[in-house]
Structure 1
Amino acid sequence: MPRFAANLSMMYTEHDFLERFAAASADGFEAVEYLFPYDHDACGLRRRLDDHGLRQVLFNAPPGAWDSGERGIAALPGRETETRTGIERALEYAAALGCPRVHVMAGLTPAATTPSDRARYRDTYLANLSWAAERAAAAGVDILVEPINHRDMPGYFLSRQAEAHEVVREVGAANLKVQLDLYHCQIVEGDLTTTLRRDLPTGRIGHLQIAGVPDRHEPDEGELHVRHLFDVVDELGFDGWIGCEYHPRAGTSEGLGWLNDYRGVHA
């Protein structure tokens, strides 16, 4: 049966961040993910996890100037030192939190780039990912890349599944994997069942995420038949986590009927 992690950056926002761990645990979650841990002391976060019987399964490496609109810097030429310093910091947090995965965001690239510009971004991205994967391997951590749709994040360097898998193959590190967010994939490409059946058996998928399409609320409304998709994931024997990365329509706990129903059917 698929295992689900609460995304504490989007869920339980009716609580202060540090109180969200308890709320997620009370609703039956055994794992959490979120965007960034860096505003909090790692030891304090670890205490929250331990106190509430939770596992940390994912967070992002530092993304550059997030509040100023940056969305990662790993593909940006000239930012290599900052990228690598950020990855070192992320690995320190991963060790403290027992987190086995770190997502490294590529960044936004200008809307009108020439093929040679695109090649420069890609070369920078591959070099940084190769470095990150080597450093993370020594710590037993997987580095993840995620295709993100251009409706939500215009200009993001990586948007299609095939591009992400080609990056992983080209770098050739066993601990570099793809973060498959079914919300982003549906918006960009669709055909989710075929995508899951094609890509999960490769071993290159390190993490899944889910949200309703088109509005990124609970996945019980909109375009996705999530019970079918979860059954496909189960059928394929995926043993990782599915991050619930959505904005609840109202209260988080009140909106978990979709998950409680699925858990009840498969209890």
Structure 2
Amino acid sequence: MPRFAANLSMLYNEHDFLDRFAAAAKDGFTAVEYLFPYAYAADELAARLKAAGLQQVLFNAPPGDWDKGERGIACLPGREAEFAEGITKALAYAQALQCPRVHVMAGLAPAGVPREQLRATYVANLQHAAAEAAKVGVNILIEPINQRDMPGFFLSRQDDAHAVVAEVGAPNLKVQMDLYHAQITEGDLAMKIRKYLATGQVGHLQIAGVPERHEPDLGEINHPYLFKLLDDIGYDGWIGCEYRPQRGAVAGGTSQGLGWLAPYLQR
């Protein structure tokens, strides 16, 4: 049966961030993910996890200046020292939170820089990140993100992501396969799930309804079909619920839109 993690950056926004852990646990989630932990002390986050009986399964490495529009710096020449510092910080949080996965955002491709140079920088930075993460038993993840939501993002296709993983050659570098982004960019989700999960290179899945990124039972994706497929092929990892609640926004909270989740809760 699929295991779902609540994305606390998108879900439960009717609560202050630190109160979202308890809200997610109350609704039956046993794990959480979110974008960034760095606004809070690691021991405070660890305490919230422990109090709610939750696992931390994913968060992102520092992305550069998020407020100024940066979406990662891994592919940006000249930012290597800053990238390495961010990995050190992320891995310290990962250890404190007992989190086995850190997502490294590639970044937006700057105009005028050859793609080959960006890729070389990206690969070298990922080699460094994976080597450092291996020392503490953490996986590094990379995620293709669609060009509609994030124009200019360096990595947008599943095949490109898997080619990067192969080039880096580190066993703890995996692909974060977000089915929302994959549907917008490529479609054919069932076949891509079969193809890429068979490689052993997919380290995490995420979901949202397409096209509006609302609850997964809204929109064009048949998620129950895909969840059964994941069961049939033996996927036992986490599925991050990274969507913007629509029903909850109308009806008074994230919990109001979780009817889709009820059949999958562990009893």
Q: TM-score range by the shorter chain?
A: over 0.9
Residues 1:241 and 2:249 are matched in the alignment: no
2:39 alignment partner in structure 1 = 39
Q: In structure 2, what is the equivalent of residue 142 of structure 1?
A: 139
Query: Corresponding residue for 2:76?
Result: 76
Query: Partner amino acid for 1:254?
Result: Q
Give per-residue Cα distances to partners, 1:179-214, cap 9 Å, x unaligned.
000000000000000000001111100000000000
Aligned to 1:193: 190
- Checking the alignment, whether the CA contact within 8 Å between 2:75 and 2:121 is kept in structure 1 is yes
TM-score (norm 2): 0.96
Once residues 52 and 30 of structure 1 are traced to their aligned partners in structure 2, the CA distance between those partners, rounded to angstroms, is 9
Equivalent runs, 1:43-192 vs 2, <5 Å: 43-110=43-110, 113=112, 117-192=114-189
Partner amino acid for 1:64?
Answer: G
Match for 2:100: what amino acid?
A: P
The two structures have a TM-score, normalised by structure 1, of 0.96
2:126 is paired with a residue whose SS is helix
Looking at structure 2, the residues matched to 252 and 260 of structure 1 have their Cα atoms a distance apart, in angstroms, of 14
Q: Is the 8 A contact 2:60 2:102 kept in 1?
A: yes
Distance in 2 separating the partners of 1:179 and 1:83: 19
Q: Distance in 1 between matches of 2:264 and 2:55?
A: 21
Residues 209 and 242 in structure 1, CA contact (< 8 A), matched pair in contact too: yes
> Are 2:252 and 1:253 aligned?
no
AA aligned opposite 1:173 = A
**Partner Cα distance (1:170, 1:190) in 2:** 25
What is the distance in 1 between the residues matched to 2:39 and 2:78? 26
* Cα contact 1:133–1:173 (8 A) shared by 2: yes
Output the CA distance in 2 between the equivalents of 1:161 and 1:20: 31
State the SS of the aligned residue for 1:152. Answer: coil
CA apart distance, 1:113: 4.6
CA deviation after TM superposition for structure 1 residue 261, in Å:
3.2
Equivalent position of 1:219 in the other structure: 216
Cα contact 2:2–2:264 (8 A) shared by 1: no
Gaps of 5+ in 2: none
Match of 2:15 in 1: 15
Report the equivalent of 2:201: 204
Secondary structure of the equivalent of 1:214?
A: coil
Contact 1:227–1:262 under 8 Å retained in 2: no
RMSD across aligned positions (CA) = 1.0
Amino acid at match of 2:244: H
For 2:264 and 2:203, the matched residues in 1 are separated by: 22
Q: Secondary structure at the match of 1:164?
A: helix
Q: Distance in 1 between matches of 2:20 and 2:141?
A: 24
The share of aligned pairs that are identical, in percent, is: 67
Q: Is the 8 A contact 1:219 1:226 kept in 2?
A: yes
- Note the alpha carbon deviations across 1:222-251, whole angstroms, 9 max, x for none: 110000010111111111100000000122
Q: Does structure 1 conserve the Cα–Cα contact (< 8 Å) formed by 2:8 and 2:17?
A: yes
> CA contact under 8 A between 1:102 and 1:141: conserved in structure 2?
yes
Worse-matched range after superposition: 12-21 or 235-244: 235-244
